[in-house]
Structure 1
Amino acid sequence: MMEGSRQTRVSRPYKISESSKVCEWPLATLCKLPTKCGIFLMRSQRVPAHRNLLAVCSDYFNSMFTIGMREAFQKEVELVGASYIGLKAVVDFLYGGELALDGGNIDYILETAHLLQIWTVVDFCCEYLEQEVSEDNYLYLQELASIYSLKRLDAFIDGFILSHFGTLSFTPDFLQNVSMQKLCVYLSSSQVQRECEHDLLQAALQWLTQQPEREAHAYQVLENIHFPLIPKNDLLHRVKPAVCSLLPREANCEGFIEEAVRYHNSLAAQPVMQTKRTALRTNEERLLFVGGEVSERCLELSDDTCYLDAKSEQWVKETPLPARRSHHCVAVLGGFIFIAGGSFSRDNGGDAASNLLYRYDPRCKQWIKVASMNQRRVDFYLASIEDMLVAVGGRNENGALSSVETYSPKTDSWSYVAGLPRFTYGHAGAIYKDFVYISGGHDYQIGPYRKNLLCYDHRTDVWEERRPMTTARG
């Protein structure tokens, strides 16, 4: 007798529908069983099958029949841990290539297919169960996925919970039965459904206060809340009192609030204070355009800030710039958008050059003014590298510039660094392996462009000539 190890199966739910699905397998033998077979599988009733077919289709039987176990020579093998319903359906599938699944047999077939390691059937079961996931049975199916190590089904249910988190997280079933590990996965996700960070904090606090022993996990749970995304006034007057009243001081969770308040108090330095808790809850990257000349005849400037909606393929307006401008520079540092310099006149003359620096916070959709550059600049290059911005060359009312200055968010100030070897504006630039590269451009007036390629090492504060381009460019 074969003593198969049997995992404890959760009781059949009544909340899986009776809808059926027939799965087809083109690799099945598509032959009928002869009257005399090499083996009978026993489970309250006999199920005939060929030994060779079972060994080919099942890792379980392949091991049984090839490593010298006594079952390799028996005409009848009794399986413990497999139901007749499940065993008959699986064997019929191996011969006929069709598997009829419904709410009455799915758990028996899944149990048997997992025991016998027939992974094609397990995959079909997962496909069926994914279609059946609902607010009534998702916890049962999540438990099923855990028992049988069904990573695909488990991931699907995680996605279902994340997309319905705003509703599910406040239901008694969720609050009583979701594990701490799973809750942390959901609270840390960038895809979790929410109206604001308050919703996630409230769900976390409700889960923690369901059972006294959960207080020991308070720090692990709340470290996934993005407290800096909550307004400062709410942190001080709503969040802190709630956390202090619901959780013991020993949980050390007030530190998250203090960290968030420090972040709010250091407005200019926020780009270099970024942590996982300050990050926006999104993985979406956006293509933006900011300002510029909008008329074919350059009759006006724009203050638009727009991003491309990938789904609708339309440009969507966000908060407008504080002032219209063109020939400015844009850079991203620490998740914030910076625009610097530019012209407030459609003539783009150096007399209209600006030294202003604005920062856009996508969390609250606001532009704020930070420290101005030391010099007014248009047609320059702005780059972000490590924890600073670098403004290179350009021109203003005095003509072309060779100066280079860097902006430190930590001190909210600009400082001059090593200047360019020559006056340059209208050049291109890029960051590569922590070096600033600029190429082309011209100097005092519109004329011949340059072939030069210059490299700046901010660690040594030195500009060096590199191999020039083959053609001059502006």
Structure 2
Amino acid sequence: MDEEQATTDSTTNKSISESDLRTKKAYLFKTSVLERLREQRNSREFCDLVLCAENETFNVHKCVLVASSDYFEAMISRSGMQEATADTIELKDITANGLRAVLDFIYTGELSLSIENIAEVLRAVTHLQVNHAIKLCEDFLIEETTVDNCIDVLSLADLFSIPVLEKINKFVLRNFPKVALNEGFKRLTYEQILYLIRSNEFRLYPEIKVFDLCVEWLKSDEKHRMVHANALMEHVRFQTMKPEEFNDLVMSHEFMKTDPDCIRFSFEAFSYFSLPNRQYCSTSPRSKIRNEASLVCVNESMYILNKHDDVWEYMCNSLATWRTLSQKFVVVNNFLYACGGYSENNRETTNACYRFDPRTGLWSEIARLCEKRQFFSLAG
């Protein structure tokens, strides 16, 4: 009985003691420890490993590397690897400057970056798998991307397969008219330029400029790049050009008349231009407008919603819908149709039908409804 009472009293006292504990933090302690560890790197006395890169040596602590880098954790913690017991490890795939930047980060939490050194730092942090440093590099690339350097940044993001690749691609898509001015686009890889011209978000108008861009890219290294001509032309939207542009500017290039696939694209475009009354039923990828889905307001004038600035922008007058009420609208294959309704002036019901072509920005009258209608529905 006395033993049970003693145990109970001990537990009670322990609980009371723990409840009275207050945690106090020394906020500079971790920083101070890192600073002392960094100072120790000036000699071998407290360091147990030497890293070598480009004939430069760096004194380090194994425990610090293992705690900071997935690469070193796998290398040093596996007893079967030669490096696990080595006093010196040579790193052949990174530069001395890159390794120095990574080690400075590991021991200070600070990473010094510039456009000039980002490539070798990225190579080092991705090779050594220092994930927190990789995130800092990604943030730096996004912050420093401009129309002048975005092609180089895109190549870096692509080379090291870092998550910001999609964001950099979006930047290039939105700003390509300015990017193309310095001809940096000629350094794009085939995969990169293909990604751009396939996208509906590619901001290069009119479409003849997309074709000219592809031709310039192909001819900048004609020996190696002309094999990609048909693959690129597959994504140029010839049917959205003016017929005169296609005939005079596109067909003046020999590959459009000799490559079997390009000949097919040419025939398809000529058929489209020669049969305007059948354009509405064309389903070719080369007849689709290069744009995101847009919201259009139609009255006596037409307005389009600018999603970026959240404002309505004027497009053009709409004579087809002038003084006509209760018209019904539908979109089919990127053509906008306005049908039926009644006159605001005399209230007379109409069977008129109109089609708006966003490629030209013009309305045209098409075959009328069989009956005059104002209360009905349209579906695409």
**Which band: TM-score by shorter chain?**
0.7 to 0.9
Q: Per the alignment, do residues 37 and 75 of structure 1 end up closer, same or farther by CA in structure 2, a change over 3 Å counting?
A: farther
Structure with the larger helix share: 2
Name which of 285, 288, 291 aligns with 2:294.
285
State yes or no: 1:121 paired with 2:100: no
Tell me, in whole angstroms, the C-alpha distance in 2 between the residues paired with 1:136 and 1:365. 33
Within a 5 Å distance, the mapping from 1:72-471 to structure 2 comes to 72-103=84-115, 105-134=117-146, 137-152=149-164, 154-166=165-177, 168-169=179-180, 174-175=185-186, 177-210=187-220, 211-240=222-251, 242-243=252-253, 245=254, 249-288=258-297, 290-291=298-299, 303-310=300-307, 311=309, 313-314=311-312, 316-322=314-320, 323-345=322-344, 348=347, 352-384=348-380
Deviation at 1:38, TM superposition (A): 6.3
Tell me, in whole angstroms, the C-alpha distance in 1 between the residues paired with 2:344 and 2:58. 90
Deviation at 1:225, TM superposition (A): 0.9
Deviation at 1:139, TM superposition (A): 4.7
Deviation at 1:305, TM superposition (A): 2.9
Deviation at 1:39, TM superposition (A): 3.3
Tell me, in whole angstroms, the C-alpha distance in 1 between the residues paired with 2:104 and 2:332. 61
Tell me, in whole angstroms, the C-alpha distance in 2 between the residues paired with 1:71 and 1:214. 44
Tell me, in whole angstroms, the C-alpha distance in 1 between the residues paired with 2:196 and 2:261. 22
Tell me, in whole angstroms, the C-alpha distance in 1 between the residues paired with 2:113 and 2:212. 40
Tell me, in whole angstroms, the C-alpha distance in 2 between the residues paired with 1:141 and 1:184. 17
Tell me, in whole angstroms, the C-alpha distance in 2 between the residues paired with 1:103 and 1:231. 42
Q: C-alpha deviations, 1:96-137, integer Å up to 9, x for none?
A: 322222356433322221111112212222332344445665
Tell me, in whole angstroms, the C-alpha distance in 2 between the residues paired with 1:304 and 1:163. 27
Deviation at 1:342, TM superposition (A): 0.6
1:422 maps to what in 2?
none
Q: Does the residue aligned with 2:103 lie in a helix, a strand or coil?
A: helix
CA RMSD of aligned residues (A): 3.0
Q: Per the alignment, do residues 122 and 215 of structure 1 end up closer, same or farther by CA in structure 2, a change over 3 Å counting?
A: same
Q: Does the residue aligned with 1:216 lie in a helix, a strand or coil?
A: helix
Higher deviation after alignment, 134-143 or 372-381: 134-143
1:70 maps to what in 2?
82
Tell me, in whole angstroms, the C-alpha distance in 2 between the residues paired with 1:78 and 1:315. 61
Q: Does the residue aligned with 1:363 lie in a helix, a strand or coil?
A: coil
Tell me, in whole angstroms, the C-alpha distance in 2 between the residues paired with 1:48 and 1:201. 55
Q: Does the residue aligned with 2:329 lie in a helix, a strand or coil?
A: strand
Q: C-alpha deviations, 1:425-448, integer Å up to 9, x for none?
A: xxxxxxxxxxxxxxxxxxxxxxxx
Tell me, in whole angstroms, the C-alpha distance in 1 between the residues paired with 2:259 and 2:211. 19
Deviation at 1:219, TM superposition (A): 0.8
- Whether the 8 Å contact between 2:50 and 2:58 is mirrored in structure 1 is yes
Q: C-alpha deviations, 1:252-303, integer Å up to 9, x for none?
A: 4132122122223333332321232111111142142x33xxxxxxxxxxx3
Q: Does the residue aligned with 1:372 lie in a helix, a strand or coil?
A: coil
Deviation at 1:346, TM superposition (A): 5.4
Deviation at 1:49, TM superposition (A): 2.5
Tell me, in whole angstroms, the C-alpha distance in 1 between the residues paired with 2:130 and 2:145. 23
Structure with the larger strand share: 1
Identity of aligned pairs, percent? 23
Q: Per the alignment, do residues 80 and 315 of structure 1 end up closer, same or farther by CA in structure 2, a change over 3 Å counting?
A: closer
Q: Does the residue aligned with 2:112 lie in a helix, a strand or coil?
A: strand
Q: Does the residue aligned with 1:308 lie in a helix, a strand or coil?
A: strand
Q: Does the residue aligned with 2:343 lie in a helix, a strand or coil?
A: coil
Q: Which amino acid aligns with 1:378?
A: Q
Q: Per the alignment, do residues 308 and 113 of structure 1 end up closer, same or farther by CA in structure 2, a change over 3 Å counting?
A: closer
Q: Per the alignment, do residues 247 and 213 of structure 1 end up closer, same or farther by CA in structure 2, a change over 3 Å counting?
A: farther
2:10 maps to what in 1?
none
Q: C-alpha deviations, 1:156-192, integer Å up to 9, x for none?
A: 54345434534554766543x3322222222222233
Tell me, in whole angstroms, the C-alpha distance in 2 between the residues paired with 1:63 and 1:187. 42
Q: Which amino acid aligns with 2:302?
A: T
Tell me, in whole angstroms, the C-alpha distance in 1 between the residues paired with 2:146 and 2:312. 34
Q: Does the residue aligned with 1:99 lie in a helix, a strand or coil?
A: coil
1:428 maps to what in 2?
none
Tell me, in whole angstroms, the C-alpha distance in 2 between the residues paired with 1:103 and 1:237. 43
Q: Per the alignment, do residues 47 and 103 of structure 1 end up closer, same or farther by CA in structure 2, a change over 3 Å counting?
A: farther
Deviation at 1:372, TM superposition (A): 1.2
Q: Does the residue aligned with 1:377 lie in a helix, a strand or coil?
A: coil
Tell me, in whole angstroms, the C-alpha distance in 2 between the residues paired with 1:377 and 1:200. 43
Q: Per the alignment, do residues 55 and 29 of structure 1 end up closer, same or farther by CA in structure 2, a change over 3 Å counting?
A: farther
Q: Does the residue aligned with 1:86 lie in a helix, a strand or coil?
A: helix
- Whether the 8 Å contact between 2:250 and 2:256 is mirrored in structure 1 is no
Deviation at 1:196, TM superposition (A): 0.9
- Whether the 8 Å contact between 2:125 and 2:131 is mirrored in structure 1 is yes
Tell me, in whole angstroms, the C-alpha distance in 1 between the residues paired with 2:315 and 2:58. 70
Q: Per the alignment, do residues 248 and 257 of structure 1 end up closer, same or farther by CA in structure 2, a change over 3 Å counting?
A: closer
Tell me, in whole angstroms, the C-alpha distance in 2 between the residues paired with 1:50 and 1:213. 48
